[in-house]
Structures are given as structure tokens and as C-alpha cells.
Structure 1
Amino acid sequence: MAPRTVIPVNKGWEFRQADKSEDESKFLPVGQFPTNVHLDLLANGLIPDPFIGKNELDVQWVGEAQWLYRTTFSAPAVASGSKAVLAFDGLDTFATVTLNGTVILETDNMFTPFRHDVTSLLKEGDNELSIHFDSAYLRGWKLVEKYPEHKWGVWNGDSSRLAVRKAQYHWGWDWGPALNTCGPWRPINLEIYDARLADLSFDNTVDESLTSADVKATAVVESVGSRADKVRFEVTLDGKDVASETVHVASGVATASFHVSKPELWYPVRYGKQPLYQVKTILLCGDEAIDEVTKKIGLRRAELIQRPLKDQPGTSFFFQVNNVPLYCGGSDWIPADNFIPRISREKYFDWVRLVAEGNQFMIRVWGGGIYEEQAFYDACDEYGILVWQDFMFGCGNYPAWPELLESIKQEAIENVKLIRHHPSIVIWAGNNEDYQYQESEGLTYNYEDKNPDNWLKTDFPARYIYEKLLSDVCADLIPNTFYHPGSPWGAGRDTHDPTVGDIHQWNVWHGTQEKYQNFDKLVGRFVSEFGMEAFPSVKTIDAYLPLGKDDPDRYPQSSTVDFHNKADGHERRIALYLVENMRYAPDPLEQFVYSTQLMQAECLASAYRLWKRQWKGPGREYCGGALVWQINDCWPVTSWSIADYYLRPKHAYFTVKREMAPVSIGITRREHRHPKDKYTRVYIDTSARIEVWGSNLTLEDLTVDVVYRAWDVETGEQTFERTEKDVPLPENRSTEISAFDVPVRNPGKGEENRTVFAAYLVNKSGEQVARYVNWPEPLKYLHLQKPKELKAALTEDGKTVEVSAEVPVKGVAVECEDDEVKFEDNLVDLVPGEVVSIGVRGAKEGTKIETSDFIFRPSTAVFTIQATADSTAKIAATNILGDG
């Protein structure tokens, strides 16, 4: 019996427009493989880059055309009793596949891998393979017309996307362009075998004591003619043997069970290591190895805890890994490019590393994109990032005719099988916001009706997909991973109910457009979406402007810059939050970009800080996590991302990083009224009241000193200092520390509105473990002073910039033209008498760290640092919102 042979079909591909004659559209070479049509048209210079200027509008015809791909590949002779299969890992989307003149496959689902037996058609030597791709956009509209009884409707894109099993964001979203792709977007292989390992799965159980684990490995064997009779499982960790067993195949299945004493457990980042056991599975015929599959698994005990709470209604919603309750601060994830085949494995790792370095623990794979590449989940496994995985449904009323349900079922089965071994995945959710769409449109939903057949007869038939079809697939294939029917979802309660399940909190930006200072009133048990827009880096804007820095549209309200913001009403909303909070001007561009990023940074930091305050320990997990919308972009755009398309962090990335540090301190400032006496409601004075709490997300109790200081923002004079000794901060929770009126020299005269207040946590070794500076708000009312002694020094090893000033400075930002230079912190607040250290990576001799040429203009807080050969630094700056 011969070993399985895998021959990549990845060479010699060419393409042309299929709905034109060959005289009008000749075959041209593809630019890469796997590929899609836009990449190939770009590689051949036939379309402009859709990411530049308004070129998106000029390439819409591509998604409405038909395209033909073909290649010739060489195949060996197929021995008698062997089988030849063409395996298509991903065809986007409506594809007709022809081998040597015979149609072998017709597909209608981008997400589903397909396999076809070509034994009888394959020739020894050259074989011609062609794939005809129809327009998913036009086919979608034909399906809409075919089923007029369905109540079609969407948020984002158009209704045709609901009928097509394809990445929904290809129709355009409120952060992405409409670029409807097609093509062989994942690998194609020719496989020849007598038998193969068709599937490899694991059922892992870690004992509650964490002292032992049981691993059940199951291999599914496909045999042709002569039969493979044994499977050998070999388990190793860091190259060392852990266990092995050879078992016989029975009815096409081989199963081995392993007991692991004192297992090396997989933990989320910060809480432990991420050891990955390697399981090599070898298919044997006698003693001959004929196939092999290797996967890496992690042993961990993962749970979603929903239980009654003390003192508040509803139930908790938080994740627990290896008996450790986790406050899951993290981000939502969209595809990292509109053209998925050009996302490299390295780029996936760069993105996930950015998340881990930002003190985030979870990524939610959003339901309008794709089931991600293995590289994405590999990176999450290695960096210790938990994954919330949506199924691919979002923001609409999906139909459910029988053929579509069958396609969705196969899609779910295949994709769950592909990624279920990854220890990072801790929850699957049925959709993104489809229950919210149902509520907004008044579609029929009776939670008490538990008969799935009835659901298909309503105007919300997709309930059958989320609560029956997908639920059954998960129960069968991943019974130990929690399944959640949707996001947000609260067991039939209104999706805005903050006391149960998860919520999407969009009453800041969308909805009622609340002030972000009120995020403490907008909390939920788990907030799986919230956000605030900000412009991307000026470098990113210059990259998409056709003429770069010389482009006449290089200003914030230009039509090209507006084109690169897909959110409805973004002009009004950005302006609203800017004008409520700070002084700003649209010119120069650099200053406006800075202002929007400062606003986003303040907004998101407030949410994380205030919601983490509600993580109060056992029985009081009133908020179990917050996932910001969103970590990334799919093209250069103004959006809610905290890092732009080129992986350039916005300032919010750093404020979120500080809020999710292992130990942090929180402060909020509230209006406090002093009554005249206990018998009347007449007030004699109004002042600001400071509330202080500490968040200890480590697993050790801490005792700290809390140091308080205050300054007058106009004079820079210190007005207050006090220390509280031996303050306990119990492990893994937030603890209230103190509350008092803002200390000022002339109380009752409004000077609390010009007092900046700082608090520090200091451990018993005298080390500062947390710091936070609280400012009167709105910032626009402050008369901040331009510092005369703003200093910066690059340390001798070139790894740190130390910054200080003699007056309070809000939001000092450092930048570098060289993208290889990375800052470990940014947008720092300065107060007199202390030095703030900012880590630097990638600086070399002569590295120039600088900002644009708008330094010294009002309302900026950026400066130039020139790192010279003798490791000195020069600096120039002016104060945010300042009068200088």
C-alpha cells in the first residue's frame, strides 16, 4: 500500500474575464496563489489600487463580472485500488470546476472545503483544470427575487448578501469598502492514496483539581480497496515523549485514550504558560506508514460561568480557565484585509502579538468575516489569547430554505472540525446582532415556543439556524465548548438587558449618543462590543491619498478623507464628541488626527476603567469583560479600530493597555452637593468628589500605600498630598479605596475645576505599581500652560525615553517616521515632580524620533526627540489645549 501523496496545484495559473470573448479578454498570469481576481488584476496593472483615493468606485464592475481560472498540472499514474481526489480548501463562491473537459463540481459556499474523486478522469501526465466563477453579487439578487416571501433586510451592505454564503463584509460595511471578490482563495491539492486520515479530533478533560487530564484522540480513516489496519498516536511536549499507543481501526475509526498526571496546563497570557502538546497520528498498513497528521493541543479547563449574583439582579457572564476567573479585556476582530490571500502568516502573528502586548486576553472573531486561517488560531494558542468565535452571520434577517440550510450545516461541520483542536477557542456564538435586528424590525420571536419546525414558518426563520442547526453541530462535535446562540444574547431577554448574557453597548457613538464619561451607567454583565472612532495615523492617510502629502484633499473634511470613513453620520458624531470634550481645529491635519485619537483614547480608557471597577470578586462579578470594537482594519480608513490597517497603534491602544495592566488604580470625579442641614434640600455649596479604587488582576493579595497629589492646572502649584498606608487589594478583583472632595486651597470658588489629581499605588518595596492622573472635564474648559521645562532624555542603552515637565501636561505623544521603532507606551499625562518612562524598541544609532512640523501650535502635545550617536535627546513641545 503506497503512502498518501499530496501534490499542490499551485503553478501555472492564469485567468481572464469569462463573460467576454477570448479576443476581448485574453488569459493573463495570476499574481500569486492562492489568489483572488482583484489581486490578479492589480498584478497585471488592469485596475487601480482600490485602497487609494476613491478607486473603490472604479472597480465595482469586477464583482459583477464572471471570471475564468485555469492551469495545467502533471499527475502520476493512479495505481489500481488507489484513489485520486482534488481537494479545494476554498473557492470564492459560485464556482464551476472542470477537469479535462468534464464538470466535476459546482459550489455555492466560500467557507466550505470541497473534495472530489477524480480517479476516472485523471490522466497520467498533463491535466487541465479550469474554474469558472460567477458574480456572487448578481447571483445573490437572483436568489432574493426567487424567494420574495422572505422578509429581506440588513444593516450594512444590501440584502443580496443574506442569500450568499460568503464573507459578508465583501458587500461593504460601516468600516470597509464594497469589494466583491472571487477566485481560488485557499489551496488546491491533488491527493492520491489507498487510505488516509480523514479527521483527527480530541476530547480533553482536565480534572477540577488540575492534577490530571484525560485525552481521547479519535482518528477517522478513509480506505480504498485494501485497508489500513492500525493507527499510532504519539504525544510529545517540547520534543519529549509523553505517551504513545497503537490501536486497530474498527469501522473506519481508531481511538486512543491517554491519562496525563500533573499536566502542563495552557493558560491565557499573564496567568501562566502556553504549553502545546504535539499529537502525531500515523496511519499504518502492517508496519508501513501510509499517512500522517500532526496537530497541537493545549490542556486547559475552560468554563463560562453564568450564576446568580449577590446584591444585583440577573446572572454573571465571565470566563474561567483552570479555575481562574478572568476579567476578559480584549478586542473584536475583523478580517485583516479585503483581499484575504495576501494576509501572511507573519502578519497574523504580528496582529495577535500586538493584542497580547496590549494586556488584552480575548479576541472575538466577528460573524461578518471568515472562519480565520489556521495561522490566526496558532498565534492565539502561542500568545495565550482566548478566542470568542462567531459563526458567519451578521446584521440581518437570514433566509432558511432547505438547500441553504444544508449548505450552512456542511459549512458549520467542516469549519468546526478544522479549528476545534485549538485551546484558545473557548466559546462559539451563532451570529452577530441578528437578534438585535429581529427586535428592531419587530420580527416574530417567541422564546417560549421550543418547536424548531415552528420557527421556520415565521418571518424570522434564522432562529432555526442559531438555536437548532448550529447548536446541534456544536453539541455533536465540540460538546465541551460553550455554544451561545448569538452576540448579544441573553436567553430570550431583550438584547439590551444588562443583567444577563452579553450586550453590545453602542449608546456611545450610536443610539442615544451618551457622553463617554457615563460609561459606568452603561455597563453589562459582559460587553462584547463598544467603541469610538478616531482617524488613523497621518502616515496612513498620506498612503491612501493619491498624491500623498501634496494631495489637495489632505485635510480632515475633504471628500477623499470622508470617503475613507464608511460610518453613516460620522461627520456629526466625531464633531459632537470633539466639541463636547476639547478645543480643536481641523487644520493642520496632524492636529485634527491627534485630537480624534485623544478623544478615542479617553473614551475607551473610561469604559475599561469603569467597567473593570464592577469586577468585585466571587459572587460580585457584575461585569466580566469588555471587548472593544475593534482591534484592526481591513483597509486604510477612519474607524473604531485601535490600530490601523498597517498595524500602527492609535493612542487608544496604549490607554487600553494601561487600564488592563495587572494592577491599576481608578479615579472618577463626581459632582457632590452639600446640604444646608438634614431637614432641607437647600444646597449651600457644590464641589467635586473624588472616588478611588484599585484593580488587582493578579492572583496574589497585595498591600500597598496609596499616594495622592493634586496640582492647580493653571499655575502648576501643588495643592495637596496625602498617603494612605497598608491598603489591602485582594487578588483578582477591584476594591474601593477612598472617597473625598477634591482638595483645593479655596473651596467653593470653582477651583476644583482647575485641579488635576493623581494617585499612585506603591508596594512594600517602594516600587510604583500603578499610576493614574485624573483631570477636570471637559478638557476644553481647562487653561493649561505651555511648559517651559518639558524635558526628555534617551537612556544610555537607547531603550527608554524619560519625560518630565514642571506643569501638568495632558496627553504627550511621541512618534517616529521609522515604523520599525516601537513605543511601549504613549499619550502619557505629566505632572510636576515625576519622570515618566516610555520604553522604546528598534531604535538604532542615529534614530530620529519626531513629529510633524506643527509643533508649538496650540492644542498639541507632541514633540521631537533626536536620538544621536551619544544617546542624548533634544525635545520641543507644547501643551494639549494650551494657551501658549
Structure 2
Amino acid sequence: MASHIRVEPVGWQYKQRETDERPLSEEMVCPGWSACSQFPTEIHLELMKAKKIPHPYKGRNEHEVQWVSKRHWLFRSEIHVSASDLQSRNHFELEFEGLDTFATVYLNGNQILESDNHFLPHHITLDKQDLKEKNELVLVFHPPLEIAKKREEQYGKVRAGSCNLGDPCRVYVRKMQSCWRWDWGPELLTMGPDRAIILHMSTLTINPWVRSEVDENLIPHLSLDLGLSVSVLPEQKVEAEVVLTSLAPEQRQIKSERKEITGTGEMFVDWDLHNLVELWWPNGSGTPHRYQLDIRLFDTEGVVLDVHNSKIAFRRAKLIRRPLEGQPGSTFMFSINNRPIYAGGSNWIPTDQILPMIEPERYTKLLELAAEGNQNMIRCWGGGVYEPDSFYDTCDRLGLMVWQDFMFSCAVYPCHAEFVASVQAEAIANVKRLRRFACIVLFCGNNEDYQQILQWNIVPQVLPAQVIYEQVLPDIVREHTQVDYWPGSPNKVPGDSWKTDDPTQGDVHRWEVWAGTRPWQDYDLLNGRLVSEFGMPSAPDIRTIDWWLEGGTSERYIDSKMMTQHNRAGSHVKRFAVHMLELFRMTGDFETWAYQTQILQSEALGFAYRSWRRQWKGKGKEFNSGALVWQLNDSFPVTSWSIIDYFLRPKPAYFAVKRELSTVTVAIARTVEKNRENDRPRQFYEFGAFQTRDVHLDIWGSNASDSPVKATLVVTAIDLANPTWHKRSPDVPVTLQPNASTDFHTNLPIPEPTENVSDPIAPSGTVVVQVQLVAMDGNTLASRCDWPQPYRFLNFPDPKLNVRREGERLIMTVQQPLKGLVLSLAEWKEGEAEVKFEDNGLDLFPNDCVTVVAKGLADRPLRARYMGTEQGIIV
């Protein structure tokens, strides 16, 4: 039996505090206490489950619940301790993993803590006399806005985002910044004990620093300090055992050591593990090998004093910045185990605005979707929270690299002494907690704070928190880890300039497209050494929309009040219209509009990924080293940039990204030259004063493997206006270079019909081109279709879609080209099982036979939507 006992409080209750003037002792005996539905918890969650407030995410209820965060709230519980445990232990510590946010804590009527930092865990050492067999724990939570406003009065009002990024006073509060309102999330100032609270009773406790490192020769090492809670006295005899084991099913012991401890157990072991362990690799580059590490403390009689168990991995991770061949600037490239890795992935926001509503399996499902989508990096964004251990453990297991922001976003943060001290404590605690995870490959100081200086024309160009980003945080990271640090995303260029959009160095955020200054067809021109943010929004699954509309039909139109309530992006109606009206025929049909937004997002993100991945051209030519889409997930049901909606329903864009991040891909881009310059996309066919004069294709492929890939390139064209006309170019043998992109054709003339031409001005304006990479065994490695744009000029023929079912397998063929096939359940009732499609949002070409696995489909009917049949058919 371990000597270290962990006790959790029980019997949690909550109530609104009637008045600050009444003594807390009187408040405790007043009526009105309600049992908590769960723990950890949060006040909106409890009130909602008790039906005291409506669901904040439905309708316009967000506005109806604002009163909640303007009140003081009490939570209480009991901690039960046996008399024998009190007698036999000499170290008592009450741990708070997180309190949201302004909280005063009382134990048995005595104040033991005043907390004002949501991100800072607290460890309160107690004397034995502070504890009884039954102990009352009381937490008083205070209104965050009221306190933030007082601090703003004291220190001054600053600039902090646009009107849809919350009240600027948020900068003075170390709390999830997006809960003050963001352009994808509601204003919901959460309050409560939202992470674990544990009483630790022990005689000696392990808090190890485990360093699983790999040197430049790829030789793995393991060293650790035990980090004992108190020093071992000279007259004491305590032993520790460390065991490293492979995981199931093998479970083979790799190395162990047992010896006597002196002092606090610094540098207890230092092992060379050459040829004993395998390295951890990112998703798509190898296996993310992990190992079990067990540490046990024993007293002289062999009684176990404490146990520490964790999973660890070995990898060498570096951010590489070196000169390039033929282009200015330097790389911004991640290297894992001395191998350059193209970073393809997503930005992560909190997956619920009310954090305790997140079930552990939600993290698992979302991150597994990312990994199944061929992603290898998650950027944990600086306006959210440092996620719980389960998040990072899942990333370790799946091989998902994590770019970890510190929690600063889109603001001019202060730098007075109390604020810096709080940030220091927060950073040290979280760096120490996260450093054991192999997935962490970068710590980053802030999100877009440097960028705001120029964007808002702040004069003089002063950012007080610069000392935090360039001195405090890097010193902490350097002292406590071997993980690389980057001051901000995007970072300002070296020197005095505040320029943050230099595409030749560092990372960049590419928002010109959504801002409306560039079409998405220009993503290939909007390059950067690593694009850490870019995106295009879309409507979520139609069932998600109907959930927040609560079945109402009066608001079921494109720009209704309720739809606006659930689209927080600034000027979204205008910005959507710019892209939608250029590409598609106008529609007033609600479901057609929702479908079109999804196709728009899918087309834009797919083009961005394949265009930037093309710039990963091999050693010395890593002109683009990665792209992280904004964003993977949602924090509540909303029209947003996410590629997976709040209910974990992937949008077509998720599958577009998945295809573009496959190990082997083939890509095609069409350029239309015109009789005069204009500001419309280069890919658009023009008629009228502007006319199309010439059209050509670029064709290339990408290969993420370590070996060259030999294949045959097949190019086929079909005319939508003359379906009997098709042309197949001579097959060409090609070799895709390892871990690089390879150009096959540039400026290739497009096949044009020679008879029955539908439009003599632009004869290829109805021609669809398919490119395929066919392996030596005849199997198709990759394929891609390119359609003439804009789609509003096209008369889509009936593709004669045929869907044959073989269990959960959908086998699909067409007789004419099909654009944007989105499959969904034709009928669904809330609570029914979802269908998990292996692929979706597809283009199909005659003579293809495409198989998609639909897990959980059973015999339920499907709806198929595609261009020209946007309202769908039952298949």
C-alpha cells in the first residue's frame, strides 16, 4: 500500500451569494444550496443542468445568461480524512489544478488562498492541525468583468482586438481570452472550480523531472531528478526504483535501477539507451514509439512511499532557420530526428466555451480525426487555455506535434510588476507540466500581439509585454526544457521594425483572402516560410444549424438574426458574398447556400495546401515548410472557419485537407490569360470586354516518404458541353523525389475540343481535366480533377451517379464528371448514431470506381448533394 494518499473533496454544492456584506459564516447556513451535477464544474453548466437558465448555445440565449457572471457564487464540499492517515503522514498539500478565475478559498473557515490566474495551479502546504477528519472546503468566486474594469481604471485602457474580440479590459485578467467573446465564440465569462482539487497526504512525494533526450547523433538518453517534496535526512534510508518498459503487447523491461536516495534526488539516473529504444516520429513519418516509466519510493521496511507512472518517448525536435537557395530569407522548418518534416495541420481552440463540458473522449475523437486526416501538427492557440494532460498524451500517442502558444492573443498586454510575477508563475508551472510530452516541439510567446502594433497604427510603437515575450518567457523555457522558443506568431522581423508579414522569414498569418483583398485563387502567391494561420469559413452541418435554431423555420434563412447570432465573424455577410457570388450562381435556397459555403471552403483550403506544399522542393529549397489551417474545431455551434463542427461532424474541407496531406499527391492548376489585366482570379474564364485568350496547366506531385516513387502520369480531358469528346494525353513515366514536391509540367497547353465547340472565345471553358498517378502495378496512387472557373458559368450535366453498397462500403461510379459530392444521412434524429465517412466532398470522373467506407451506416438512406443538384437526391 502506497504511503502517498490522494483524497478528493465530495458532496459539492453551489449557490449564489446573497450579498458581500453578510459574513460568510452566515451565508453558509442560509438556504438555497443545490447539489452539483458533476465535478469539476462551472456555474453556467450547473444552472443549465438545473434548468435555471436556458442552454447558452441555443438561439439567442447567450444574451439571456449574461447576469450569471455578474454575481458572486459559492461552492462548498467536504474532505474526509481518517484519523490513521492524519497520524501517519507528515506532509499535507492541497492541490488546485485550476480555478476559474477570481476565487477566495477557505478551509474550515480559514482563508488559505486568493487566486486570480486561471492558468496557475496552486499547491497549498497545510499543517496537521489545519485538518480534521471532516473538513469543509469553501470557494467564493467573484465577477471577472467587475474586477477587470477596476484594473483597467488603475492601469489604463489599451487596444485589444476589434469589437468582436471582447472587452479590452480582458488583458488584465489571466483567463481564457476567448471567453470574453471572439469572432467564432460567444461572450460567456465562466466561473467555477473547473479542474481537479486533491488533498495529498504523504511522508515523501515524487515530482520528477524526466528528460528523455536524443542527441545530434540520434542516440537516446534518459535522465531524471526525483524532485522530492522534502529532502531525505542523513539518518533516513530511502530507496527508489526506476523501470523503463515497452508498451503492450510486448511489455518488455528495457532497463531498471534501484539505489538509495540522498538529498532531494537530483540526477537520480542517467542512462544511455543506444539500440535499446525506438524514436518517436510524427504522424505520417513513422511510428510514434512510446515507453512506460515507473518510479517507486521505498522505506527501510519495503513499504512503498510513492509511485509515479508516465508514458515517455524519445525524439530530437528542432526549429531550423537556415539560408535558402535562390530566394531571400531563411527557412522556418521543423526537424524531427534530423529529418525535415512538412508541418501540415490545424490550429486548435478550446473545444467548448464551458471547459468542464468537455468529456475526455471528445479530445480523443477530435485529435484522432486530425491524425486520420493526415495531419501531423496542432497549434494550441494563445487565446485559449493550456490543455489538460490527456490532450497532450493523446497527441503523443497519435504522433501529432504540438506548437504551444503561451496564453496571450490579439492585444497590448500590460507589464506591471504584479502582472509579470503572475505570468512567471503561470509559465513555470505549465512548462514544467508539459515538458515531458514528446509532442511539444515549440513554445511560442503570443498570438498576433506584435502584428497589432502596425495594424492599429499604434504610435509610438510600444508593446509593454515585449519584455515578457523576449525576456521572461524565453528564459523560463531555456531553464526548464530543451524545447525551442519563438517570440510570437507571426513574429516581427529582427531589429526595430514591427513588420510581421514578411513571407521570406518566420511564420506568417495569411488573412488577405477572408479580408476580401485577394481571391482564394491567389493562395499560391500568398506564400510564407510557414503559414501558421489562414482560413475560409463555412456553414456547419445542416443538423447543427437546426439545433441552434431549435426547430424554428422563421429564422431559417441566410442572413436572419439567429444565423447572425451564430456567425461572429466581422462583416461576414459582405465577405461571404464576395467569394460566393464570384464562384456560384446566386441562390435563395437555404440548404443550397449552406452547401455552397462548404464547397467554397473545401476548394479554397485544398488549393492552399497543394500550392504551398508545392514549395517544399527538397534540401535548400524548403520555400514553404508547412500550413496550419484556422481552425480544426469549434467551441460552440457556429458558422466559422472550423473544418470539424461543434458536434464533431467533419465538413467537406476536412476531407480536402486530408487528401492534400496524403503521402503521395498529384496536383493541377489552370491559368487563364486574358486580353487585358483585371483583378479577378487568374483561373477565371472571361467573357465580354475581358476575354480569355490562352489557357495552360501546371501539374506536379508531392511525396512525403523517404524514398522516390515511380509512377505513370495520366492526363484526361472531358468536355461538359460535348460529353462524347474526351482526350487522353500520352502517358508519361515520372519519379517523385523523396520528401519533396516534383514539377511534371509547367505551362502545358490545355486540351481543347476541335469540333462542336460550345464557345469559340474560350473553347476549353467547359473542359474538365483529370490527372492521375498510376503505380507500376496499375493501382492509382493519387488523382485530381480541375474544373473551369467560375462554376456559375457551367451547366453541370447529370453525372448518372451510381452508388452500390457492400456492407459499409459505398462503391461509386459516374458516366459524366461530378463536382463536389457530399454524402450525408437523408434522415436523422437527435441521439441516433452518426455515420463516419472515410472520404467526402469528392470529385468523380468517368471510368473511376471510388470506394468510400461509411462506418455505422447500416441500411439508412443517404442524401447525395453535388454541383447542379445542390438540394440532393436519395441514394
TM over 0.5: yes
Structure 1 248/224 Cα, relative in aligned 2: closer, same or farther at 3 Å? closer
Measure how far apart 1:240 and its partner are. 1.5
- Report what 2:160 is aligned to: 153
2:270 maps to 257
Pair 590,10 (structure 1): closer, same or farther in 2 beyond 3 Å = farther
**Structure 1 residue 857, shift from structure 2 partner:** 10
> What pairs with 1:593-612 in structure 2 (closer than 5 Å)?
593-612=594-613
Work out whether 1:509 is the aligned partner of 2:521. no
Distance of 1:7 and 1:563 partners within structure 2: 43
Matching of residue 590 in structure 1 with residue 595 in structure 2: no
Separation of aligned partners in 2, 1:152 and 1:602: 35
Q: Give the partner amino acid of 1:465.
A: I
**Structure 1 position 403 matched with structure 2 position 411:** no
Q: Is the 8 A contact 2:232 2:263 kept in 1?
A: no
Give the TM-score, by structure 1 length.
0.91
Contact 2:451/2:492 (<8 A) preserved:
no
Q: Is the 8 A contact 1:309 1:621 kept in 2?
A: yes
Per the TM alignment, residue 230 of structure 1 is displaced from its structure 2 partner at its CA by 3.3
> Can you list the C-alpha shifts for 1:851-878, whole angstroms capped at 9, x where unaligned?
6xxx79955174323xxxxxxxxxxxxx
Q: Deviations over 1:17-55 (max 9, x none)?
A: 454876997111112100011111112111110001000
Counterpart among 318, 336, 349 of residue 334 in structure 1: 349
Deviations 1:673-718 (A, max 9, x none): 799xxxxxxx998211011011111111011110010011123233
Shift of 1:623: 0.2
Distance 1:445 1:839 in 2: 58
Who is 2:684 aligned against? none
Is the contact between residue 17 and residue 25 of structure 1 (CA under 8 Å) also seen in structure 2? no
User: Equivalences for 1:650-669 in 2 at 5 Å?
Assistant: 650-669=651-670
Question: Aligned AA for 1:359?
Answer: N
**In 1, Cα distance between equivalents of 2:592 and 2:2:** 67
The offset of 1:194, in angstroms, is: 1.6
> Structure 1's 685 and 372: CA in aligned 2 closer, same or farther, altered over 3 A?
closer
Counterpart in the other structure of 1:850: 863
CA offsets 1:344-390 (integer angstroms, 9 cap, x no match): 21111000000011111110000000000111111111111111000
Asked whether the 8 Å contact 1:10–1:188 carries over to 2, the reply is no
1:308 equivalenced with 2:313 (yes/no): no
Give the whole-Å Cα distance in 1 for the aligned partners of 2:414 and 2:53: 35
Contact conserved, 2:718 with 2:768, CA < 8 A, in 1?
Answer: yes
Contact 1:163 1:399 in 2 (8 A): yes
Gap change, CA 1:228 and 1:598, over 3 Å in 2: farther
* Residue 294 in structure 1 maps to residue 296 in structure 2: no
Instruction: Find the counterpart in structure 2 of residue 344 from structure 1.
Output: 359
Distance 2:168 2:598 in 1: 34
How far is 1:289 from its partner? Answer: 1.9
Aligned to 1:254, what secondary structure does the other structure show? coil
Letter in 1 for 2:731: E
Whether 2:812 is the aligned partner of 1:803: answer yes
Residue 214, structure 1, aligned to residue 221, structure 2? yes
Distance 1:171 1:19, change over 3 A: farther
Equivalent position amino acid for 1:737 in 2: F
Task: Pick the aligned partner of 1:781 from 752, 776, 793.
Answer: 793
SS of residue in 2 equivalent to 1:261 = coil
520, 527, 535: which one aligns with 1:523 = 527
Assess if the C-alpha contact under 8 Å between 2:672 and 2:692 holds in 1. Answer: no
Match for residue 741 of structure 1 among 742, 749, 763: 749
Contact 1:93 1:108 in 2 (8 A): yes
> Which residue type is aligned with residue 699 of structure 1?
D
Q: Does structure 1 residue 165 correspond to structure 2 residue 174?
A: yes
Q: Is the 8 A contact 1:231 1:254 kept in 2?
A: no
Percentage identity across paired residues of the two chains: 37
- In angstroms, what is the RMSD of aligned CA positions? 2.2
> TM (normalized to structure 2)?
0.92
**Relative to 1, partners in 2 of residues 1:615 and 1:228: Cα closer, same or farther, differing over 3 Å?**
farther
Check the 8 A contact 1:525/1:623 in 2, yes or no: yes
Correspondence for 2:625: 624
Q: CA deviation at 1:722?
A: 1.5
Post-superposition offset of 1:4: 1.4
Corresponding letter in the other structure for 1:541? I
Which amino acid is the alignment partner of residue 573 of structure 2? Answer: E
Residues 10 and 474 of structure 1: is their aligned pair in 2 closer, same or farther, counting only changes over 3 Å? farther
In structure 1, the partner of 2:769 is 757
Contact 2:107 2:138 in 1 (8 A): yes
| Counterpart residue type for residue 860 of structure 1 | E
Query: Cα deviation per residue 1:783-832 (whole Å; 9 max; x = unaligned)?
Result: 22223x3211112xx13212222222211111123543211111111222
* 1:771 matched to 2:783: yes
| Counterpart-to-counterpart distance in 2, 1:269 and 1:801 | 27
CA distance in 2, matches of 1:563, 1:259: 58
Are 1:321 and 2:341 matched, yes or no?
Answer: no
**Retained in 2: the 8 A contact 1:215–1:257?**
yes
Aligned to 1:181: 190
Relative to structure 1, the CA distance from residue 139 to residue 59 in structure 2 (aligned partners, 3 Å threshold; closer, same or farther) is same
**Superposed displacement of residue 753, structure 1:** 1.0
Q: Which amino acid aligns with 1:835?
A: C
Aligned 1:348-427 pairs, distance under 5 A = 348-427=363-442
Give distance in 2, aligned partners of 1:461 and 1:267. Answer: 39
The equivalent of 1:870 in structure 2 is none
Query: Which residue of 2 is the match for residue 869 of structure 1?
Result: none
- The residue number in structure 2 matching 1:678 is none
2:65 partner SS: helix
Secondary structure at 2:713 match in 1: strand
Amino acid at match of 1:534: S
Q: Distance in 2 between matches of 1:758 and 1:81?
A: 73
- Decide whether aligned partners of structure 1 residues 24 and 291 sit closer, same or farther in structure 2, where only a CA change above 3 A counts: closer
Q: For the Cα contact (< 8 Å) 2:393–2:437, is it kept in 1? A: yes
How many angstroms apart in 1 are the aligned matches of 2:804 and 2:641? 33
| Residues 24, 809 of structure 1: alpha-carbon distance in 2 compared, 3 angstrom cutoff | farther
Q: What CA distance in whole angstroms lies between the structure 1 residues aligned with 2:436 and 2:103?
A: 30
For 2:285 and 2:773, locate their aligned partners in 1 and report how far apart those are by CA, in whole Å. 21
Alignment-derived partner of residue 685 in structure 2: none
Displacement of 1:126 in angstroms is: 1.5
Q: Which stretch shows the higher mean deviation, 34-43 or 627-636?
A: 34-43
Change (3 A) 1:375 1:718: farther
Q: Name the structure 2 match of 1:456.
A: none
Q: Give, as a single letter, the amino acid of the residue that structure 2 aligns with 1:768.
A: T
Cα 1:707/1:192, change in 2 over 3 Å: same
C-alpha displacement of 1:840 = 1.7
Q: Check conservation: 1:443, 1:460, Cα contact below 8 A.
A: no
Separation in structure 2 between the aligned mates of residue 440 and residue 830 of structure 1, nearest angstrom: 43
Give the match for residue 680 of structure 1: none
Offset, 1:313: 0.4
Alpha-carbon separation, structure 1, partners of 2:452 and 2:587: 37
Q: 1:146-188: CA deviations, max 9, x gaps?
A: 112x644334111111000011011010000000011111111
**Partner residue in 1 for 2:3:** 3
Verify the 8 A CA contact 2:232 2:262 in the aligned structure 1. no
| 1:871 aligned partner | none
The answer for the alignment partner of 1:14 in structure 2 is: 14
Work out the CA distance in 2 between the residues paired with 1:120 and 1:425. Answer: 39
Q: Within 2, Cα distance between the matches of 1:115 and 1:318?
A: 38
Q: Relative to structure 1, is the Cα distance of residues 836 and 785 closer, same or farther in structure 2, using a 3 angstrom cutoff? A: same
Within the alignment, does 1:863 sit opposite 2:865 as a pair? no
Question: Post-superposition shift, 1:724?
Answer: 3.1
Alignment-derived partner of residue 686 in structure 2: none
- Give the equivalent residue in structure 2 for 1:689: 696
Q: Distance in 1 between matches of 2:79 and 2:179?
A: 31
Contact 1:18 1:132 in 2 (8 A): no
Residues 857/465 of structure 1: CA separation in 2 closer, same or farther (3 Å cut):
closer
Segment of structure 1 superposing worse, 310-319 or 490-499: 490-499
Letter in 2 for 1:130: V
Q: 1:225 to 1:322 in 2, by over 3 A?
A: closer
Alpha-carbon contact 1:380-1:387 (below 8 Å) kept: yes
Q: C-alpha distance in 2, partners of 1:225/1:268?
A: 40
Aligned 8 A contact 1:99 1:121 in 2:
no
Q: What SS does the corresponding residue of 1:309 show, helix, strand or coil?
A: coil
Tell me the residue number matched to 1:471.
Answer: 474
Matched, 1:828 2:852: no
